[in-house]
Amino acid sequence: MRLEAAFYAQSADVAAPGLLGKLLCRRFGRKEVRLRITETEAYCGEADTACHARRGRTARTAVMYEAGGRTYVYLCYGMHEMLNIVTGPEGSPEAVLVRGVEGHAGPDRLTRALDITRALNRENLLESKRLWIEDDGSSPPFIASPRIGIAYASAEDRARLWRFTVCEGGGRDCVRAELLKKKRAEGVSYEVCVNIHESGERLTQPRTPDSELMR
């Protein structure tokens, strides 16, 4: 079933883990391709110094200020197309970067594989016949870690655990989206999740009340 407006109305830090396991769908003529989303990053408005909207509304970021449910596709380093999903209410510039889908790890690789270019910028995911996202009930376990490639951001924002990756091995280092969402509603933070070094080594965060989730 195609994701509805209520999903995209969520803040980026809630929608990002919620997108894991969802199906990114692309139509080419009569052919449709569906690939599961495996990695995302949340970018949470003007106060987030890693977010493109940190300097306010520009021609480039205007789509981020629209109501959630549109795409924000931009060119990185002059060569890589990057697919973002706008989330949150109108006027709140938040977005989720789709960093990977099954078979294609890396935001530039997935856009090349699915021929997602800036021609699909501002696409309405609620109505589009070219690009949309479906939910078939999958809710894979995942791990949260700091975002990458944001050396320009503040130390506080660099440390936020807003990168979400499907945890294929399962076990105590993983948490499921619905459980994390429930705990966040109770005032529990993300900072319990597992931090992944770029080398791939897993390091468990110091114990906090949240870490009981992963026992």
For the stretch 68-83, pLDDT in tens is: 999 999 988 667 899 9
User: Domains of the chain, with CATH numbers?
Assistant: 5-214 (3.10.300.10)
More confident residue, 77 or 149: 149
Q: What percent of the chain has pLDDT over 70?
A: 78
H runs (alpha helix) in the chain: 5-8, 12-19, 107-113, 155-159, 177-185
Q: What is the mean pLDDT of residues 150-164?
A: 96
CB-CB contact of 87 with 68 (8 Å): yes
Q: Write down the mean pLDDT value for the chain.
A: 85
Answering whether pTM is above 0.85, one says no
Tell me how far apart the alpha carbons of residues 161 and 158 are, in angstroms, rounded to a whole number.
8
Res 171: pLDDT: 59
Nearest-angstrom CA–CA distance, 213 and 88: 27
- What does the CA dihedral 60, 47, 150, 196 come to, rounded to 10 degrees? -130
Predicted local distance difference test score (pLDDT) of residue 168: 74
Q: List, for residues 50-64, the tens digit of each pLDDT value.
A: 999 999 999 999 999
Going from the C-alpha of 91 to that of each of 78, 79, 124, 154, the distances in angstroms are 28, 29, 17, 23
Query: pLDDT at residue 211 above 90?
Result: no
Question: What is the DSSP-derived secondary structure letter of residue 3?
Answer: -
Query: What is the DSSP-derived secondary structure letter of residue 124?
Result: B
* Residues 188, 209 contacting (CB under 8 angstroms): yes
How many angstroms separate the CA atoms of 12 and 10, rounded?
A: 6
Tens digits of per-residue pLDDT, 82-131?
Answer: 999 999 999 999 999 999 999 999 999 999 999 999 999 999 999 999 99
Q: Minimal CA–CA distance to 37: which of 145, 119, 117, 132?
A: 132
Q: What percent of the chain has pLDDT over 90?
A: 72
